[in-house]
Amino acid sequence: MSAPRLPRKLGELAVPTNRRPVGSLTLPAGTDIDVAAEAALARPAGEREEPVLVVWPDGRCGIVPVMDVLAAMAGRYAKLTRTDQLTGLPNRGMITAEGQRRLDSGDLVAVLHLGLDQFQDANDVLGHHGADALLYRVAVALTAAHGPGNLAARLDGDQFLVLLTELPGGHTAQSLGRQLAAGIRGPHQIDGLPIGVEVSIGISPAGHHDFQVLQRRAAAAMRRAKQERTGVVEWTPGLDSTQRVDLRQLTELRSGLKSGHLRLHYQPLHDAVSREMNGVEALVRWQHPQRGLLPPGVFLPDAERSDVILELTDWVLAEALHQAATWKRNGHHVPVSVNLPAAYLAQERAVPTILAMLRLERVPAELLTVEITETAVLTRPDEVAAQLAELRLRGVRVAIDDFGTGYTSLGLLPRLPIDELKIDRSFVVQMHESAAHATIIDSVIAIARSLGMKVVAEGVEDEPTAADLARAGVDLLQGYHLNRPTPPEAVPLLPARPLVPAA
Ligand code: C2E
Ligand code: CA
Ligand code: CA
């Protein structure tokens, strides 16, 4: 699959003429798109929408509408977020979109999920650099062996995926899997050492029209291959029933919800410049009578695969708004953000329920922000956009959570009804290690600014990161460096901790 070449220089966006237009910003045709976008956005508010004038060395001129400059920058951003930086393979977002696109166009699609065995050992023995080199070699072996028309991707860490729309002559999915395993096995020469790699492969045969279902089946088959050390396992319906949701825990959660065992912790968001607290995000926990306080990762994934998530979200909304009302009665106007799963918003009663809860607690709608993930918006774009638009009309704020991990092209942003973008932790964590991630953050900020959205950075774990994000123009910061999630009584309602000067 070849992507069209993306323009890098401003001159590529305009047609040179001999006329000489006038305007507030004139730049040489050789200016990088990113630099041009920044300059365009740096103009005073009234001039920001004006086109950019381009001059070529021979004196000819041209005009570029400002949205074209931003869209070109967005295109570069989209490519960065679709590609795994280490191996150059498509990433999870990209392969998911491509797989679903092929299914929608009527292709039969099978999925192979590959997980390297004991990769942690390779990390320990070879160090980060060597382990990265090994992952690169695995990626090369993978792309070499699966035939044209098929596509390999790196999901994350040591997990890869191959999307199969055709089988090379004489192969079954199983035999192709074994051939891939042989290629990956090596040995690969890393820092002069011959290194072998074992891999477990799960196959989901064609036969479902939802790519996420195929992906889940292949992952379940891979886990089975790992447990049984059999190398390659093909998914069958029987395999699902042994790895289904933990029904006992789900039943317990349902009754825990009724018996009042759920808790909300609140993590402050801080103004990036003044560092004052500027709201909180509500995060659910389960105070389990035997197992102690459980984080959402333990029980939410199962809840989200059943309708318990609807009841749970009703509870979270009610509790968070009740807390906001309590704070308000005590003189603190604390904006509260609540995570909303796509399934909740898909209900017709979602908006009326939220509005009724606001009225009941006498909390102004402006104090509530709903956070919804990029993937959720994309799986049901029309319903979700309509619901979000109605909420906004009533004053509720809307944030896109985990931004950058999904497949939203920045070009789509102007069409979504949103107030706030939360840049995913994975970008924030890597901003000091990778120029590409720093560029993505800069692009997101520039575009969000031009659309009047606020930008939040999550996962801020140290002061250099906080300072750099503030300099880059992020509005709000959230992360362990500033505050961890706490029970409501421990939320620091007075201005947040002052900046501690470095020793
Ligand atoms: P999220 O919405 O992205 O929430 C942020 C998560 O990152 C929280 O994890 C928070 O404790 C953690 N975090 C905050 N700062 C840092 C940091 O500096 N470093 C690191 N490593 N982590 C940080 P938590 O509370 O475990 O929640 C995990 C996820 O569970 C949330 O991710 C959200 O997707 C989901 N979740 C939590 N509460 C709810 C809820 O009430 N409803 C729904 N639907 N989902 C929820
Ligand atoms: Ca969130
Ligand atoms: Ca998030």
Q: What is the per-residue pLDDT across 234-277, written as a single tens digit (0 to 9) for each?
A: 998 888 655 566 888 999 999 999 999 999 999 999 999 999 99
Mean pLDDT of 163-184: 87
> Domains plus CATH for the chain?
10-80 (3.90.1280), 86-244 (3.30.70.270), 247-490 (3.20.20.450)
pLDDT, tens digit, 9 for 90 and up, residues 320-351: 999 999 999 999 999 999 999 988 988 889 99
Q: What is the pLDDT of residue 170?
A: 80
Ligand whose nearest atom lies closest to the CA of 459: 1
pLDDT in tens, 89-110: 998 888 988 998 999 999 999 9
Q: Is the CB of 461 under 6 A from ligand 1?
A: yes
* Residues in a beta bridge with 293: 287
21-25, 106-110, 282-286, 347-351: which range is least confident on average?
Answer: 21-25
Tell me the mean pLDDT in the region 385-401. 93
Q: Tell me, what amino acid is at 28? A: P
**Mean per-residue pLDDT for 38-55?**
84
Pairing mode of beta strands 262-271, 159-164: unpaired
Does the CB atom of residue 296 touch ligand 1 within 6 A? yes
pLDDT at 354: 98
Distance CA 77, CA 297 (A): 30
In the structure encoding, which two tokens stand for residue 386, read together?
């309509």
DSSP 501: P
Tell whether the model's pLDDT for residue 25 goes beyond 70: yes
Q: Which residue has the higher pLDDT, 429 or 162?
A: 162
CA gap 238, 225 in Å, rounded: 14
Cα(229)–Cα(232) distance, integer angstroms: 9
Q: What is the pLDDT of residue 465?
A: 94
Contact 456, 478 (CB under 8 A): yes
pLDDT of 3 strictly over 50: no
Q: How far apart are CA 5 and CA 2, in angstroms?
A: 9
Beta strand residue intervals within 321-362, DSSP E: 336-339
Percent of the chain with pLDDT over 90: 51
Nearest alpha carbon, ligand 1 atom 12: 459
Query: pLDDT value at position 1?
Result: 39
Instruction: List CB contacts of 441: < 8 A, sequence separation 6 or more.
Output: 423, 427, 428, 431, 457, 469, 472, 474
Q: In whole angstroms, how far apart are CA 434 and each of 38, 441, 460?
A: 20, 11, 16
> How is residue 334 written in tokens?
């604390």
Whole-number Å distance between alpha carbons of 278 and 337: 11
Whether the pLDDT of residue 376 is over 90: the answer is no
Per DSSP, the three-state class of 268 is strand
Give the rounded distance of the alpha carbon of 417 from its chain centre: 18
pLDDT per position as a tens digit, 246-255: 888 999 999 9
> Would the CB of 424 count as within 6 Å of ligand 1?
no
Report whether pLDDT(500) > 60.
Answer: no
Beta strand residue intervals within 320-382, DSSP E? 336-339, 368-373
Q: Quick: pLDDT tens for 420-429.
A: 999 988 788 8
Question: Which of 104-113, 187-196, 299-308 is predicted with the least confidence, judged by mean pLDDT?
Answer: 187-196
Ligand number with the minimum distance to the CA of 402? 3
Q: For residue 462, how far is the Cα from the chain centroid?
A: 21
The chain-wide mean pLDDT, for the chain, equals: 87
> Which carries the bigger pLDDT value, residue 106 or residue 499?
106
Whether 339 lines ligand 1, by a CB cut-off of 6 Å, is yes
Ligand 3 centre to CA of 349 (Å) is 25
**Residue 401, strand partner residues:** 373
> Residue 482: which of 290, 272, 211, 196 has the closest Cα?
272
* pLDDT for 79: 67
- With 70 as the cut, is the pLDDT of residue 217 above it? yes
**Residue 497's pLDDT band (cuts 50, 70, 90):** very low
Specify the pLDDT at position 70: 81
The token pair at 281 is: 């995000």
| C-alpha torsion sign, points 283, 284, 289, 294 | negative
Q: Reduced to 3 states, what is the DSSP secondary structure of residue 421?
A: strand
- Strand 159-164 and strand 292-294: the pairing is unpaired
Among candidate residues 118, 80, 145, 131, the one with its CA nearest the CA of residue 409:
80
Tell me how far apart the alpha carbons of residues 258 and 251 are, in angstroms, rounded to a whole number.
11
Query: CB within 8 A of 382, min separation 6: which ones?
Result: none
The pLDDT of residue 128: 83
Read off the amino acid at residue 170: G
Decide if pLDDT at 24 tops 90: no
Tokens of 285: 């926990």
Q: Which atom of ligand 1 is nearest to the CA of 313?
A: 42
pLDDT computed for residue 410 by the predictor: 62
What is the distance in A from the centroid of ligand 2 to the CA of 362? 24
Residue 363 confidence (pLDDT): 98
Q: Is the CB of 374 under 6 A from ligand 1?
A: no
